[in-house]
Structure 1
Amino acid sequence: MITRRKTILVPVLALPALAAACSDQRLELPGPQRAAVAVERATPMVTARLRALGASLGDPVFIRAFKQEKRLHLYVQPGGAGRFVEFANWPICAASGVLGPKKAEGDKQVPEGVYGVTPEAMNNASSYHLSMNVGYPNAFDQALGRTGSFIMIHGRCESVGCLAMTDPVIEDIWTLVSAAHRAGQTKVDVHIFPFVLSAKALESHTQSEHLAFWTDLMAIQNAFDTIGLPPTIAIHAGRYGVAG
């Protein structure tokens, strides 16, 4: 007698659904374990890349993001001295809103300006895999009466006013930022720009209400490009400036 095998059809997930399923499995891990697994997974590639730059895990890091270009750049300072060099840049997977600063809770805007991630701002039990709060509203925003909260760099590629990365990318960023914190960096500066700022680029925005603000941000952007260090920032009369 011939026995026929029973065919069982298993639905195949499309790539986005598969990614979401994998992400959901990661979310089942308790926060500390989730972070530990992420660091273990990311460390071999991260340390190899650092070694090629003459740097080590734990060296100071610095982050810049450009909204229009949808790129996030991470820099490292080899040995904690001299110029920062670019470790990598990645596509921003999702970011809501339009060009211009965040002004109010619920406006779905990604902020623009000078922020920073402290050790206390790291969330290993995030609903978005791993997240880090950039510190909006800062003193500049508060002086202008701006409101809002919980603006993050995080995983899961979903955004309502945050900078969302893929889960593998946020694991790399988390590994670098958390190591820098443990080594003594009390705040990882995060500079968020509307786009790569230049006099030519601003010619297309001469009628924008944000022109003066963006011009001030351009000075901050250019200072880093020139000296290779996050500049010291001054705030005077409701405007950013580069100190010294």
Structure 2
Amino acid sequence: MLRRVFVAVFALVFAGILASCSPLEGDGRHLVPLSNSAKVRLASMGSSPGAAMMVRIFKQESVLEVWKQTSDGRYKLFNSYEICTWSGELGPKFYEGDRQAPEGFYTITPGLMNPNSNYYLAFNLGFPNKFDRAHGRSGSHLMVHGACSSAGCYAMEDDQIAEIYALAREAFTGGNRSFEVQIFPFRMTPQNLAAHQSSPHIGFWNNLKEGHDFFEVANMPPAWDVCDGRYVFRQPSAASAAASMAGQCPAVTADQRIVSAFMDRQATDQAALTSAITRLADAEQASALAEQRRINAQAEMTARSEAIGGFFDAIFSPFGGGTQQTAAVETPAQP
């Protein structure tokens, strides 16, 4: 009963906040209902508009995923959207003005929703988060928004952000106080990690992979905190009991089945990563040898051509040595 009252009050308050932020009188783009097709898809996967949601972003692939919680508590992929554009390169954001789109874990609350955005609709990522602040990083107004223009943000087409915004709005109206956004440099596969082993960000990305793998095996977003400059992850049900962390960092916390699956996933991927690194090293060595053989063959061919050309020049050139000798003999001696 109390939960129903809370949900009703929360819905009224949130609707009022949104209405008061309307950019123009009568402009209701932030209140456009979720489409019937979206509602049908949600129902078919055992979810609903008011169910909890989570967002994942993969920079290299330019993909934004929306996941929705289903009736059994697990999350399923609702839709994947192609990101229109993002700025910067692979790696985290460091300071205000570097035009770098951030990476990491961010918690979106109703106050970060922006119906009055200059970019159609938007939600702020809340950068810098606790992790970013621990590393002295700065920046503001880092968003997911429409208008397909980016200066440190993830920009979508307007129709895409309209649906994503509506999904978030309905999740809040359903009584959820926040949703998580996970941002990765690329799909966290051993092959991709092997290809970026020389990056200065590889330690940071390995830390992000822990949260990625937790979600993959648990089918629910982890609660996260920061300890000694690293992300640490816990089962959401244990989040409310955890204080701000410092000092020795605990391992991933969840029920034993999830922890076992997480450790298996990490071990399997580590073995695959080692193999991928070895294959890349072998391929690079083979490529280097092939290139050296090509250079040697080219040099040998050039030397041979020059030698043959010099031989024929000596024989047939009108300025060759034989002609010069004859001319010397035929030239009368000077008195």
Q: Tell me the TM-score normalized by structure 2.
A: 0.61
Is the alpha carbon distance of 1:124 and 1:28 closer, same or farther for their aligned partners in structure 2, counting shifts above 3 Å?
Answer: closer
Q: Which residue of 2 aligns with 1:62?
A: 54
Against the structure 1 CA distance between its residues 28 and 190, is the aligned structure 2 distance closer, same or farther, given a 3 Å change threshold?
Answer: closer
Aligned to 2:96, what secondary structure does the other structure show? coil
Higher relative contact order (CA 8 A, sep 6+): 1
Which of 93, 96, 114 aligns to 2:87? It is 96
2:177 is aligned with 1:186:
yes
Partner of 2:36: 44
**Secondary structure of the residue that 2:187 maps to in structure 1?**
coil
Instruction: Say yes or no: does 1:227 pair with 2:218.
Output: yes
Distance 1:28 1:133 in 2: 17
Measure the CA separation in 1 of the matches of 2:150 and 2:107: 19
Q: TM-score scaled by structure 1?
A: 0.84
Name the counterpart of 1:132.
Answer: 123
More helix by share: 2
The change in CA–CA distance for 1:214 and 1:30 in structure 2 (over 3 A counts) is: farther
The aligned residue for residue 202 of structure 1 is: 193
The alignment's C-alpha RMSD in Å is: 1.6
- List alignment gaps of at least 5 residues for structure 2: 1-21, 235-252, 254-335
Q: CA 1:189 to 1:30, structure 2 compared with 1: closer, same or farther past 3 Å?
A: farther
1:61–1:180 CA contact under 8 A, matched in 2: yes
Counterpart of 1:35, as a letter, is: H
CA shift, 1:30, in A, is: 4.3
- Of residues 172-181 and 49-58 in structure 1, the stretch that sits farther from structure 2 once superposed is 49-58
**Largest Rg, 1 or 2:** 2
Match of 1:115 in 2: 106
Question: Residue 147 of structure 2 aligns to which amino acid in structure 1?
Answer: R
Q: CA deviation at 1:234?
A: 3.1
- Taking the aligned partners of 1:224 and 1:30, their CA distance within structure 2 comes to 42
Q: Distance in 1 between matches of 2:208 and 2:39?
A: 32
1:156 aligns with 2:147: yes
Name the structure 2 match of 1:76.
68
- Counterpart CA distance in 1 for 2:89 and 2:68 is 29
For the 8 Å contact 1:198–1:218, the answer to whether it is kept is no
Runs of 5+ unmatched residues, structure 1 = 1-26
Task: Count residues in correspondence.
Answer: 214
2:28 alignment partner in structure 1: 33
Q: Percent identity?
A: 40
